[in-house]
Structure 1
């Protein structure tokens, strides 16, 4: 009985806990780090942050400085929770190197990042141009910021920093960590080969990504489906290269150009600053309405084009299109 129980919990060949329990412990670690980050923000939030800011700014810090500091703390806490949980779980539970979750930062990695950044910008520019020509967009003003007492350009730049951070930690968690672990785990089944394992992991994590956005403001069944399809496109850049460069770049600039440049809602939310402020009309089924382009046919079309261009890019760069074998054959850390 003891031997059988140990076999359920422990993989003797890899000398580590089996996948379901590793994922459960990672989730517990994610919650713990989230609680720690929330507690830390609670200490620093509100007026208690002003004495700290006074050390770096002359006189009493203004509203803009306080809001900027709060935003910086929030984004930093999100990075700490997401990246920290994956690093710790990868090191001590999975026995993987952190670089194997998509961060082998060689020359090719940076080239692929540049492609991803450019792809997201081009796709969202295409969405904006299509809807503008169709008469569904009216440009209301330029250099819009919700609070007139705030400077435009610093907050415009902060929009890019924020969406880049979101791209890093969401891609690390949903693509780098979950796809890698699930793909490896499914190969335990004799009837599941490596290609099928990566495919199943991609579909499952994309569904989870869609459900994770289903609680956003103005979310609908159509928006959830659109987010699932977007997740498949993001995953393609990872599973075909073994690196997160393409999906991080695509994720960051898709959101940045969507919200901070062209003034669309970003997954149902608005950050209060955009290069172009718009009024949108047209059928929500096509435009996505209050949720943003991912919920409409135009956005879904752009997502499909992004998937095709990602595959073509990988083929041009490597002369082949296949799932990266490192996803299912990890280089485990030595004990």
Structure 2
């Protein structure tokens, strides 16, 4: 992506005119939205409430059926279920529900186009760089040390739940569904705020969740992931970032992940210092270092959105701009 220097002296990427992130002339929406010409055609199909209801209904229905079938067929005599059952159920339910939503919208998923899969590598690299930078700062401040190794660590449960499932299912739900649908109503800025808050609130359900942890998630991950999606219109980027952040945080550097329970990984880590610095039991996502670094990057991406004209306007603004001019009768 080419670069240019703004009037403030900052170097920012230039998004090409044909890029999926740039709003279309015909309806002022981006390529990941169904085409909405004016005057509206088949308005009922594109009602935000209906599309969200279809997604939620299909996801819940598939989830109940698949989970029930797997639990009945795979549980042992003591009632224990294999660790992968609920992750596989969540992935399958999300995929089927998103497919149903795409059929209703009558479009192809440009945000998951195979030709754009290179964004996955970009997201992985970005996530690894950010997490390593946070750990590096904590190490310099004397708040992080590796005190041993855990060669018997079983990475598979974390890889499936916090890695693959969280990265794919949560990015589809919060970016490709929630952010995108609210964007059609409230515009990019309103959708960014709503999806970030929802992302933070969702993490309150974790075992070691705290109010500050949820606020931190909303500020750092909620804002950053939504802004990155708005700039790229690619789930590959956000899935890669989400996966790398979670997997390096837990299995590699030994931190708790989003308050999901006791920390474990290949390295035995020791965190020292106040909770506002280390993140406490919630994990380093509640550290002021993570919040500062990731929120600043999110703000930089928001600057790109504003400067490059990538923001989708709220529904009422688009309607006014697309409405034919009223002329006086002869």
Work out whether 1:121 is the aligned partner of 2:128.
yes
Work out whether 1:135 is the aligned partner of 2:142.
yes
Q: Give 1:157 deviation, angstroms.
A: 6.1
1:34-183 matches, cutoff 5 A: 34-47=63-76, 70-92=82-104, 94-97=105-108, 99-100=109-110, 102-106=111-115, 109-145=116-152, 152=153, 155-156=154-155, 159-162=158-161, 163-183=163-183
Deviations, residues 63-89 of structure 1 (Å, cap 9, x unaligned) = xxx98xx23433221110111111112
1:246-325 matches, cutoff 5 A: 246-270=237-261, 273-307=264-298, 321-323=308-310
More helix by share: 1
Q: Give 1:46 deviation, angstroms.
A: 2.3
Distance 1:132 1:18 in 2: 50
Distance 2:114 2:293 in 1: 28
Distance 1:73 1:28 in 2: 20
Distance 1:82 1:182 in 2: 19
Distance 1:178 1:84 in 2: 16
TM-score (norm 1): 0.72
Work out whether 1:239 is the aligned partner of 2:226.
no
Distance 2:189 2:300 in 1: 19
Deviations, residues 182-233 of structure 1 (Å, cap 9, x unaligned) = 21234xxxxxxxxxx1111111111111111112122222111111121110
Distance 2:124 2:252 in 1: 14
Task: Give the number of equivalent residue pairs.
Answer: 273
SS of structure 1 residue aligned to 2:76: helix
> Cα RMSD (Å) of the superposition?
3.1
Distance 2:72 2:297 in 1: 43
Distance 1:311 1:206 in 2: 13
Distance 1:15 1:130 in 2: 51
Deviations, residues 257-277 of structure 1 (Å, cap 9, x unaligned) = 000100100011247751211
| 1:332 aligned residue | none
Distance 1:225 1:246 in 2: 23
Aligned CA distance change for structure 1 residues 309 and 161 (closer, same or farther; 3 Å) = farther
Distance 2:64 2:157 in 1: 26
TM-score (norm 2): 0.73
Aligned CA distance change for structure 1 residues 105 and 112 (closer, same or farther; 3 Å) = same
Q: Give 1:239 deviation, angstroms.
A: 0.8
| 1:32 aligned residue | 61
Check conservation: 1:123, 1:306, Cα contact below 8 A: no
| 1:8 aligned residue | none
Worse-matched range after superposition: 126-135 or 39-48 = 39-48
| 2:205 aligned residue | 215
Aligned CA distance change for structure 1 residues 24 and 277 (closer, same or farther; 3 Å) = same
| 2:328 aligned residue | none
- Structure 1 regions of 5+ residues with no counterpart? 1-10, 50-65, 146-151, 187-196, 330-335
Aligned CA distance change for structure 1 residues 245 and 96 (closer, same or farther; 3 Å) = same
Aligned CA distance change for structure 1 residues 157 and 28 (closer, same or farther; 3 Å) = closer
